[in-house]
Amino acid sequence: MTDPFVHPEEPTAAAAIAAIGDDLSLFDDWMERYEFIIGMGRKLPPFPDDWANDAHRVPGCQSRVWMEAVPRDGKLYFAGQSDAAIVSGLVALLLRVYSGRSPDEILATDPVFLKDLGLLEALSTNRGNGIAAMARKVRDVATLQRAG
């Protein structure tokens, strides 16, 4: 089985946010940005079918979104998937920032970057609420891990 967890491309969450900002700035309009985000979702590692269940479901998302986390060597790695292409892309974007980071770095990285990159304004209210729910889930896991 291939590792379903996302491994970071950049050395820090801040570097990942900057790289995503650079990527998005290459596109002139939101349709092109959506295509790019959907493409990110297609590159997510395969999510195990038996994890696509209520135990892994992220509440508060209009689409179905599933996530799993595993601690390794003091860092948290996340796997995720959605049944909607654009939402899988948003999962990929979040995991590019947060997966493979320490709980402290995750908690120090405010999901306000989603607003700063203009992503929340470009999404429907329901999608915006959903990505906020995903970010909350990631931070909740980090809080539990740090306390654990």
- Indicate if the pLDDT at residue 139 is higher than 90: yes
HSE, CB side, 13 Å, CA atoms: give it for residue 23.
16
Q: List residues bridging with 70 in a β-sheet.
A: 77
For residue 68, being part of any structural domain is answered with yes
Catalytic status, residue 54: no
Q: Which residue has the higher pLDDT, 132 or 140?
A: 140
Q: Which domain holds residue 72?
A: 13-147
β-bridge partners, 111: none
- Domain-located, residue 8: no
Residue 66 lies in a domain: yes
Per-residue tokens: 62: 């209009």
| Bigger pLDDT: 101 vs 117 | 101
Tell whether 24 is covered by a domain. yes
Average pLDDT over residues 124-132: 77
Q: Which has the minimum average pLDDT: 101-105, 112-116, 135-139?
A: 112-116
**Residue 86: inside a domain:** yes
Instruction: Report d(CA 111, CA 132) in Å as an integer.
Output: 8
Residue 124 pLDDT level (bands cut at 50, 70, 90): confident
Mean pLDDT of the residues in the chain: 92
What share of the chain in percent tops pLDDT 90? 73
Query: Is 23 within the bounds of a domain?
Result: yes
Residue 2 is assigned to a structural domain of this protein: no
Dihedral in degrees, nearest 10, Cα atoms 78, 82, 87, 88: 60
Residue 118 belongs to a domain: yes
**pLDDT value of residue 83:** 93
Number of C-beta neighbours around residue 8 at 10 A = 18
Q: CATH number for the domain including 65?
A: 3.90.1010.10
Residue 1: pLDDT over 70 = no
Query: Annotated catalytic residue: which of 13, 61, 69, 84?
Result: 61
Question: pLDDT tens for residues 15-64?
Answer: 999 999 999 999 988 889 989 999 999 999 999 999 999 999 998 877 89
Domain count, the chain: 1
What is the model's pTM? 0.92
